[in-house]
């Protein structure tokens, strides 16, 4: 099984569950996490190797209620994995641009997450 990469926030699923119990709409949660993804996307793009620019321009953010998913690569850009992880048989060294992006985006994502949760609580007049 492939090693998971990314930033994991302990207790986030419980916070999301409690916010929903307090009355936060699922769409508000999705919008908050999508905004966080859009804020950190440039950090990942900055460390992505560039030849034609297609890989750097391919980052997409999903709308999920309890996490930020940032995707890169697709059928038309099948080389995202080999560029990131390497391919010894083809003499391609790993660039590890996803891990580098995690390092630079993690502090910004944490701050943005705190702000988003505060905004959701204020929106309900709970804080």
- In this prediction the pTM is 0.84
Helix (H, G, I), strand (E, B) or coil at 127: coil
Strands (E), the chain: 60-61, 70-71
Residue 51 included in any domain:
yes
Q: Measuring CA to CA, which residue among 103, 102, 81 is closest to residue 92? A: 81
All residues at 6 or more sequence positions from 16 whose CB lies less than 8 Å from its CB, including other chains: 29, 65, 66
Query: Rounded mean pLDDT of 104-124?
Result: 91
Q: Quote the domain boundaries for residue 63.
A: 39-123
What is the tens place of the pLDDT at every residue in 61-75?
999 999 999 999 999
Residue 105 included in any domain:
yes
Helices (H), strands (E): how many in the chain?
4, 2
Residue 33 included in any domain:
no
Residue 18 included in any domain:
no
Mean pLDDT of the chain: 90
């Amino acid at each position: 099984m492939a090693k998971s990469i990314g930033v994991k926030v302990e207790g986030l699923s419980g916070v999301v569950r409690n916010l929903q119990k307090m009355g936060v709409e699922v769409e508000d949660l999705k919008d908050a996490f999508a905004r966080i993804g859009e804020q950190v996307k440039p950090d990942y793009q900055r460390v992505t190797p560039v030849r034609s620019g297609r890989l750097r321009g391919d980052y997409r953010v999903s709308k999920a209620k309890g996490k930020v998913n940032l995707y890169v690569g697709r059928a038309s850009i099948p080389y995202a994995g080999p560029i990131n992880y390497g391919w010894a048989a083809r003499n391609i060294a790993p660039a590890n641009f996803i891990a580098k992006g995690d390092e630079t985006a993690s502090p910004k994502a944490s701050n943005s997450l705190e702000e988003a949760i505060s905004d959701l609580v204020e929106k309900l007049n709970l804080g």
